[in-house]
Structure 1
Amino acid sequence: METYDLIIVGAGPAGSTLAKALEGSGKCALLIDKHAFPRDKTCAGWVTPSVIETLDINLADYGNGRTLQPIRRFRIGMMGQTAVENDHGSVVSYGIRRCEFDDYLLKRTTTPKQLGTPVKTITRKEGNWVVNDTWSAPLIVGAGGHFCPVARLVGNGPGSHETVVAAKEIEFEMTHEQAKACEARGDTPELWFCKDLKGYAWVFRKGNYLNVGLGREDNHKLTDHLQDFVEAMKTKGKVPADLPSRFKGHAYLLYDHAGRALLDDGLLLIGDAAGLAYTQSGEGIRPAVESALLAADVILQAPDFSATSLQAYADAIAERFGHRGSVTEDGFQVPGWVKMPLAATLMRSHWFTRKVITEKWFLHQDVPALAANS
């Protein structure tokens, strides 16, 4: 039996950020992930300057041999309407491929790793968590996304108002012919909101790579909405007529509606495992990174790993992201006050699509970057 101070299940941005933050602290951690890296990861794939700052990523270094698409504009509309395009005048985000981004972050940490290793069992023994009857630690951290095996240990809170978003998307490298015919511009992602406001779709070009997808809160209608959207984009020339058909699915919880507990005795959840995706955009990368840093601070300062000592983490999450339960509507991306026909009018407004949807909901420009030593 190998013993550590903590075991981190999931080596994506949340897990690797936590591992990196704990280096040199005297805490001995183990990173476990069911995949070998680099691995395919379903995600639209863009990161804001605040994430770049928090992670201290050198853009010149990262862009050497990896996809790094500067974003200066957004086209936003409601399906069936004409989109509004806003030029932000500078780079406001970066397109990345998650297979490259996650591998880059993971390689920056010297923490011991067990990759390509599915977690089959997690048991409690003499105050420690034992994983696969092989590794033991008094603290286990779930960083493995919505279906993380550590998250299953805490379940969902009683009477929780869950909104599980289901999404399907595809990312592929276009052929020369496809790239030449594709009218989508790399520096201008397109966001298209569903008419019922229960989700949105996107077309995002990153060099010769194209990412197309749609996320909604009602999974049973997801495929129909996606097919309609893809056909509309083909007609507009935004996606190739011979677009691959093998879309991949994933799911996540929206922060304001998630009822999943963040901690228990000897247990913490970070990132999508904790249900931290931003409610209006569904973005999970920034909350994943920031929750990992907040968790690292608590782990280093806590006198023990009891739920009482770890409560400081839940307090820090609430202070950073707001208190859960403050939203009472069922709405997915768009708050309940944005109703039809008002929404149709707002989606035609340059001010609303830029100041509210893009800068506030998707880029969170009003929230300063979280310092890595906060």
Structure 2
Amino acid sequence: METFDAIVVGAGPAGSTLTHALENAGKNVLIIDKTSFPRDKTCAGWVTPAVLESLHVDINDYRQHRTLQSISRFRIGMMGQSPVENCHGSVVSYGIRRCEFDAYLLDRVQSRKQLNTPVKSITRDNGLWQINGQWQAPLLVGAGGHFCPVAKQIGAGPGKHETVVAAKEVEFEMTPAQAKACEARGDTPELWFCRDLKGYAWVFRKGNFLNIGLGREDNHQLTEHLEAFVQDMKQSGRIPSDLPGRFKGHAYLLYGHAQRPLLDDGVLLIGDAAGLAYTQSGEGIRPAIESALIAAKVILNAPDYSASSLQRYSEQISERFGHRAAEQERGFEVPDWLKQPIASSLMRSHWFTQKVVTEKWFLHQEIPPLDLAV
């Protein structure tokens, strides 16, 4: 059985970022994922400059052979009423394709990669976590998303008491005819909030690629809301009338609603496995990256991998993202005062949609990039 300093389960942005940081510090790490890369990943797909800065991504290098759509405007509205369009005056975010972005981050990793390898068994013997009876390490990190098998080891798997956001979306390359008929612009993503404020939909063009989706916290109504939204967008000319394929689904936890423990003896969770998506927007890439950087620093400074030694990770997550006990609003952290008909009026306000919805809730511009020396 091969022995490593750490085993990371999940090779998405969180897992690859952590592995990259640990290997740079001289750790012998194994990263495992159930799929091969590049792989299709359901995600609206945008990252802020803060994410690229924290990852030390060279923007000019990245966009050489990959999609990097500059975003400087947003079109925001409530379903059933006219939207407002706001210009931010500069690039405030970038559209990416997750199949490219995730592969790019994983390609930077030089550690041992075990891809296309489902985790079939996790056991612990004499202080070592053993995966599939083949690999072992004193530290196990769960980075495999909402259904991460590592989360189940500390009682943090999907449960009936979790308030889960369910989303469906599709991303495809438009034909020349579809691109000509599509009125959505690449530099202006569109966000459309459900009238009950329990979710929102989006139309996001990235060059000739188009991403359309909707996410809600009551998934039993998800399909009905999505079908109505898509039909409305077709009728208004925002999207082509002939969409290919089926919409794919995925699930995740909002930070303020998750109750998952983050760690135990010799194990911790990062990214969506820990339920770290922003409560305000459901965006998960930045929390995934930052949780990985925080975890790396804690791991490298810990005297051992006991729960007490790793507790600093949980404390720093709270310092960075807030205390979950104080984050109990529902509906993507829509405050109690933002209800109909007030919400309807506010969604017509250029100031509110730009300063609050976009810059605060979605872009988190008031929070500086996280750049930890590890």
TM-score (normalised: structure 1): 0.98
Superposed CA offset, 1:201-229 (max 9, x none):
00000000000000000111000000000
Superposed CA offset, 1:6-30 (max 9, x none):
1000000000000111123232110
Question: Which residue number corresponds to residue 251 of structure 1?
Answer: 251
Contact kept? 2:297, 2:372, Cα under 8 Å:
no
Residue pairs, 1:150-229, within 5 angstroms? 150-156=150-156, 162-229=162-229
Contact kept? 2:34, 2:118, Cα under 8 Å:
yes
Superposed CA offset, 1:281-307 (max 9, x none):
000000000000000001001011010
1:320 matched to 2:320? The reply is yes
For residues 24 and 175 of structure 1, what CA distance do their matches in structure 2 show? Answer: 43
Question: Which residue number corresponds to residue 265 of structure 2?
Answer: 265
1:119 shift after superposition: 0.6
For residues 112 and 167 of structure 1, what CA distance do their matches in structure 2 show? Answer: 33
For residues 358 and 82 of structure 1, what CA distance do their matches in structure 2 show? Answer: 17
Secondary structure at 1:178's aligned position in 2?
A: helix
1:336 shift after superposition: 2.7
Contact kept? 1:51, 1:286, Cα under 8 Å:
yes
Contact kept? 1:198, 1:333, Cα under 8 Å:
no
Question: Which residue number corresponds to residue 76 of structure 2?
Answer: 76
Superposed CA offset, 1:291-325 (max 9, x none):
00000001001011010100000001000000012
Contact kept? 2:83, 2:348, Cα under 8 Å:
yes
For residues 334 and 201 of structure 1, what CA distance do their matches in structure 2 show? Answer: 15
For residues 360 and 265 of structure 1, what CA distance do their matches in structure 2 show? Answer: 36
Contact kept? 2:143, 2:272, Cα under 8 Å:
yes
Secondary structure at 2:300's aligned position in 1?
A: helix
Gaps of 5+ in 1: none
Secondary structure at 1:23's aligned position in 2?
A: helix
Question: Which residue number corresponds to residue 4 of structure 2?
Answer: 4
Residue pairs, 1:1-374, within 5 angstroms? 1-156=1-156, 162-373=162-373
Secondary structure at 2:105's aligned position in 1?
A: helix
Secondary structure at 2:18's aligned position in 1?
A: helix
Secondary structure at 1:31's aligned position in 2?
A: strand
Contact kept? 2:256, 2:329, Cα under 8 Å:
no
For residues 48 and 333 of structure 2, what CA distance do their matches in structure 1 show? Answer: 19
Q: Which moved more, 1:325-334 or 1:229-238?
A: 325-334
Secondary structure at 2:148's aligned position in 1?
A: coil
For residues 356 and 161 of structure 2, what CA distance do their matches in structure 1 show? Answer: 25
TM-score (normalised: structure 2): 0.98
For residues 198 and 358 of structure 2, what CA distance do their matches in structure 1 show? Answer: 17
Contact kept? 1:197, 1:333, Cα under 8 Å:
no
Contact kept? 1:77, 1:84, Cα under 8 Å:
yes
Q: Which amino acid aligns with 1:120?
A: K
Contact kept? 1:75, 1:190, Cα under 8 Å:
yes
For residues 275 and 124 of structure 1, what CA distance do their matches in structure 2 show? Answer: 24
Q: Which amino acid aligns with 1:64?
A: Q
Q: How many aligned positions are there?
A: 373
Secondary structure at 2:256's aligned position in 1?
A: helix
1:337 shift after superposition: 2.5
